């Protein structure tokens, strides 16, 4: 689960002025944002879903691909916080790598077992 097409992305990237092969309809405007589990370099999680969340986004406008960005979701788990404490689960120590939703004007990264994290 960490090789081939599933090899983790090692870097956060920002790219602008992207080249488009063919054409994009000018009416196709907005952001496409996806989230997935992506372990940091040097970390081999015990399960596919234990890699920290990484959000990928692309912005389309006026027939152009304006930008692409990817970022890890900066939760306590990304910095090594344990999921379990002596008091039970730490709901902030999330991978936040399952979903991205917009709610109340905010963009949130989610994992079913933990609290959401706002993306900026």
Instruction: Tell me whether residue 71 is exposed, middle or buried, using C-beta atoms within 10 angstroms of its C-beta: 0 to 12, 13 to 18, 19 or more.
Output: middle
Give bridge partners of residue 57 from the DSSP assignment.
33, 69
pLDDT of residue 18: 95
Per-10-residue mean pLDDT, the chain, length 120: 86 96 95 93 80 94 96 91 90 91 95 91
Instruction: Domain of residue 29: give its range.
Output: 4-119
CA distances from 72 to 21, 36, 61, 62 (A): 28, 10, 25, 28
pLDDT of residue 83: 86
Rounded to whole angstroms, the Cα distance separating 72 from 40 reads 9
Please compute, for residue 8, the number of CA atoms within 13 A of its CA located in the half-sphere on the CB side.
23
CB 49 within 8 A of CB 112: no
pLDDT of residue 67: 97
Number of domains in the chain: 1
What is the pTM (predicted TM-score) of this model? 0.87
Give bridge partners of residue 32 from the DSSP assignment.
58
* Cα-based angle 104, 35, 75 (whole degrees, multiple of 5): 75
pLDDT of residue 53: 93
């Amino acid at each position: 689960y960490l090789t081939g097409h599933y090899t983790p992305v090692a870097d956060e990237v920002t790219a602008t002025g992207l080249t488009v092969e063919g054409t994009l309809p000018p009416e196709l405007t907005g952001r496409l944002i996806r989230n997935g589990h992506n372990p940091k370099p040097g970390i081999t999680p015990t399960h596919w879903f234990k890699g920290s969340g990484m959000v990928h986004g692309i912005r389309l406008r006026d027939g152009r691909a304006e930008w692409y960005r990817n970022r890890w979701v900066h939760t306590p788990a990304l910095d090594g916080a344990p999921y379990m404490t002596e008091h039970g689960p730490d709901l902030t120590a999330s991978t936040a790598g399952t979903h991205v939703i917009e709610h109340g004007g905010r963009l949130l990264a989610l994992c079913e077992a933990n609290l959401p994290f706002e993306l900026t």
